[in-house]
Amino acid sequence: MMSELSAQSVQIVFAGIILLFGIGLIGLMITRNLIKIVILLQLMAKAAILGMALAGNVAGKPGLGQSLAVTVIVVDTVVAVIALALAVQVQKTWGTLDLKDLSTLRR
Amino acid sequence: MLAILIWLAIGLPVVGGLVVAFVGDSREKLQHVVAVGFSAAAAVAALAILPQAGADAAVSVSFGPMFGDLTFVPDGLGAFLAAVATVVGCLAVVFSVDYMAGEAELGRYYSLVLYFIGAMAALALTSNLFFLFLFWEITALCSYALISFYNDDPKAVAGGIKALIITQFGGVGLLALALAAYAQTGSFEISTFLAAAPSIPAVVLSVMAYGALLAAAAKSAQFPFHTWLPDAMEAPTPVSALIHAATMVNAGIYLLARLYPAFADVPGWRTAVVLVGVVSALIAALMAVVATDLKRLLAYSTVSQLGYMVYAVGAGGVFASQFHLLSHAVFKALLFLAAGSIIHSLGTRDMRKMGGVGRQMPFVRNVFIIGAIALIGLPPLNGFWSKELILEEGLLHGPGWAYALMLAGVALTALYTLRGVSMVFFSEDAGPHGHDAGRAMKTSLGILAVGTFVTWLLVGSFSRMMAETLPLHGLHELTIAQLASEISGAPATYLALGAALIGLAAWQWRRRIPGAQQSPGWLLAATESSFGLETANRLIVTAVQKAGAFLQRTQTGQLNWNVAGLAFGLIAVLIILAWSV
């Protein structure tokens, strides 16, 4: 059984979560490179995972939070692998990773 | 036992629909047999519910705390409408054996018709507002798919989409009503809501009341939503008879009648209901006077007769409205199916090309005239008794102006019905004609024609059933003798018969009335645009399309913009949450 976190450390972890998530969000708003997008998505997912673990702890059910976190880590890795594989194929097929060049909705 | 019957009435058509689909279009004969068998069995089950009608839930299936229990209550209103839906449904399926013979994709047709019958029976019997909404939308979907059954005909597709979109307004009204009831009473049960209605805040209750009126007007093709029904006539004729005359369009009236005790005291609601009924009855009758398409004529007349039922609810005559609903379901299904056999034989819906068809089809001519007499409201057919009951209620409890306008509607009904009958059967021969109706067609026409003579005799048991199972509606039993003496003694009867005679005379001596030799131009133009509402429809469609094209600019396809939009949305939600805390 994990020991209860103090209120201060909860706040520190929470600030870390917001920081990670914010970096991911702002990054997604400004980057157009497919690889960077995958990395930024990973950052946001990690923030979410941390959030789950923290929420489990605060709610007094650390086991539940941690098991959910592990599940998401697995799923998230698969997402990253497939996204990177797609990025490789995109680069091979179109010769670019720039989203603006890849977009077909409006020319 | 009762629970089993209810499950059979609802479940048999649905199972039948699946079976027909699996039989496959290569075995047409078997498809006919399966469809008729399942629909007939469902009709028997629904009829067997009637003697056991009661006010308590006979079936209750738990669906968790969100939606409440799926309950079926076989009370007077529900069991009655379920019986109408399954019996007329069965007759329409029997009629289809001849009408749809040799058509491609018969499986799709029968499946949708059977699903519709099941959904309609469930809609009538359920007492949970959320599931009522669900079944309400299933019937709308079946109606849409069947209007567009000939899906290589652009007119049929357009008619189907139009019906779907316009009846959606009704669905939204009903959903708002259901959610408001849940918010106020913590339950979707109609009985809970009716009992709690007096304690619901007046503002909420009036929003619900007008939501119900919106739902009913859209579903029952009442003003200003009536424009979808004439365009729905692209459906195969048995479908028009079943869905767009006898059952689905009655769902709106049924909703108003069922919730009447809760809304009767909402200020202005009853007047609004009367107004909707009167306006629909009159303008639809006017449009019917100049119609040249036989099915559109009947569709206008359906809108008009539904207007009478809405008017009856507004005037407080809940039983009168349901009684007319029964009569109308029978005689209008008869008229539609008779029209269907004519159309099937001649291959045209234009009444100007039908002259003299009665000589080839004497049986169809005779039953059509029976239906027409019931529509006009002449004794002793069922249309007479129920329409007189409505007008009497209107004279006693409704506003005077509405009664006067409804009398004018009676005259118009007589006029357009006689015009239709004489154009189809008694004008000069229009040339070569087709074959007589088949045996299956004649069977269902014959049953409906007999029904037109006798259904009014059920008034005693029907009113007793409703009075006993719907305590909140304040209904009382009305025996045949009471009905007969009430109708024959009331001045309303003679006024209405006089109005009908004026209408008949106007057609008979039309050549002597100056300016009546041709359909008046303004009326033709008004019919073309559905009294301006068709134009309004087009304006709304154009506006929506333009707005869509304009908003397309926001769809850049750029990830950066999308993420920014998400982030701003998140911030907005957080601000709203912070505000409300």
Among residues B383, B133, B111, B113, the alpha carbon closest in space to that of B251 is found at B133
Give the count of domains, chain A. Answer: 1
Which tokens in the block code for residue B263? 């809304």
- Say if B564 is an interface residue toward chain A (CB within 8 Å): yes
Q: A residues 84-103 near B, CB within 8 Å?
A: 99-100, 103
Alpha-carbon separation of residue A79 from A1, A38, A72, B249 (angstroms): 31, 9, 10, 50
B558 contacts on A by Cβ (under 8 Å): 99-100, 103
Tell me whether residue A107 is in a domain: no
A104 contacts on B by Cβ (under 8 Å): 557
Among residues B12, B8, B36, the alpha carbon closest in space to that of B93 is found at B36
DSSP H or E segment with residue B70: strand B69-72
Tell me whether residue A91 is in a domain: yes
Residues forming a β-bridge with B128: B189
pLDDT at A1: 44
Instruction: Lowest mean pLDDT of A53-67, A84-98, B34-48, B387-401, name the range.
Output: B387-401
DSSP H or E segment with residue B69: strand B69-72
Which tokens in the block code for residue B96? 């289809």
Q: Check which CATH number belongs to the domain holding A59 and give it.
A: 1.10.287.3510
- Environment class of B571 (CB within 10 Å of its CB; exposed 0-12, middle 13-18, buried 19+): exposed
Tell me whether residue A2 is in a domain: no
pLDDT at B529: 72
Q: Is the pLDDT of residue B418 over 80?
A: yes
3-class DSSP string for B72-131: ECCCHHHHHHHHHHHHHHHHHHHHHHHHCCCCCCHHHHHHHHHHHHHHHHHHHHECEHHH
Tell me whether residue A1 is in a domain: no
Q: Is the pLDDT of residue B461 over 50?
A: yes
Q: Are B133 and B190 in contact (CB under 8 A)?
A: no
A25, A32, A106: residue with CB nearest B556:
A106
Which tokens in the block code for residue B40? 């007939």
Do A103 and B555 make contact, defined as CB atoms within 8 angstroms? Answer: no
pLDDT at B118: 93
Chain B residue nearest residue A28, CA to CA = B560
Q: A residues 44-73 near B, CB within 8 Å?
A: none
- Say if A7 is an interface residue toward chain B (CB within 8 Å): no
Q: Are B376 and B414 in contact (CB under 8 A)?
A: yes
Q: Are A78 and A58 in contact (CB under 8 A)?
A: no
- CA–CA separation, B132 and B68 (whole Å): 12
**Å from B564 to nearest chain A CA?**
6
Do B559 and A30 make contact, defined as CB atoms within 8 angstroms? Answer: no
Neighbours of B388 (CB within 10 A): 26
Among residues B106, B134, B100, B50, the alpha carbon closest in space to that of B462 is found at B50
Q: Are B341 and B236 in contact (CB under 8 A)?
A: no
Domain ranges of chain B: 2-518+527-531, 540-580
Neighbours of B478 (CB within 10 A): 20
**Which residue type does A67 have?**
S
- Say if B554 is an interface residue toward chain A (CB within 8 Å): no
Q: Is the pLDDT of residue B543 over 80?
A: yes
Q: Is the pLDDT of residue A23 over 90?
A: yes
- Say if B563 is an interface residue toward chain A (CB within 8 Å): yes
Enclosing domain of residue A25: 7-102
- CA–CA separation, B180 and B182 (whole Å): 5
Confidence of residue B503 (pLDDT cuts 50, 70, 90): confident
Confidence of residue A37 (pLDDT cuts 50, 70, 90): very high
DSSP H or E segment with residue B60: strand B59-62
Do A32 and B559 make contact, defined as CB atoms within 8 angstroms? Answer: yes
Chain A residue nearest residue B567, CA to CA = A25
The mean pLDDT value of chain A amounts to 88
Q: Is the pLDDT of residue B138 over 90?
A: yes
Q: Is the pLDDT of residue A44 over 70?
A: yes
- CA–CA separation, B396 and B375 (whole Å): 23
Alpha-carbon separation of residue B382 from B155, B269, B323, B377 (angstroms): 35, 30, 9, 8
Confidence of residue B140 (pLDDT cuts 50, 70, 90): very high
Do B559 and A28 make contact, defined as CB atoms within 8 angstroms? Answer: yes
